[in-house]
Chains A and B, each alone.
Chain A
């Protein structure tokens, strides 16, 4: 079965600083990968998804970008963080035998001060 790792688990950054969140997947190949953001006590908003290396689709215009440099690596970035970028970021993978179901990583809690 696949395992999804996210790094770091927690991050506190000042406004205007850059951001790089990493997601890696083990135990599968050619997954679809997703970045979601969850505001406190709210539902999940899809930010980006990728169906293959170098293929990124953006769902919401924003201060963030995503890249997929390797098959099982998905990176969320920003050049200059805003206060509104604070939240809980989840990476998810869709692949393998259970191709109908997304499985999630443990998440990264980002606080922008």
Chain B
């Protein structure tokens, strides 16, 4: 069975600095998707970034980028120029290629941004 592990329960970063959140996963599949979701205090789940496993190029969305290492089964999220609004819980998620579209989530990392 596929699993997703986020080994950092909590992280903190100074405003305007860069922080990296770690995620590893276990799968025997070769084609799949990976996601980072953000959950602010409102608890609404917001998509931050997604990566398709067949793409070698790392995904980037403005200040958010990933370091996807397929062989190592690692999918870290880098947040540059951190802002107070980035404070939230961040979840890494895995989805295999299938019509069910089921997501498997990690346990989350709480990010604190210090002014």
Query: Which residues of B sit under 8 angstroms from A49, Cβ to Cβ?
Result: 100-102
Nearest CB in chain B: distance from A78 CB, A: 21
Q: Is B100 a contact partner of A32 (Cβ separation < 8 A)?
A: yes
Q: Range of interface residues on chain B?
A: 20 to 34
Partner of A57, one of B44, B45, B100: B100
User: Does A102 sit at the interface, judged by CB under 8 A?
Assistant: yes
Name B6's closest neighbour in chain A (CB-CB): A43
User: Does B75 sit at the interface, judged by CB under 8 A?
Assistant: no
* Pairs across A and B, CB under 8 Å, 29 listed: A32-B100, A34-B101, A34-B103, A38-B43, A41-B108, A41-B110, A43-B107, A44-B45, A44-B103, A46-B102, A46-B103, A49-B102, A51-B99, A51-B100, A92-B45, A100-B50, A100-B52, A100-B101, A101-B33, A101-B50, A102-B95, A103-B47, A104-B44, A104-B45, A104-B46, A106-B43, A106-B44, A107-B43, A107-B44
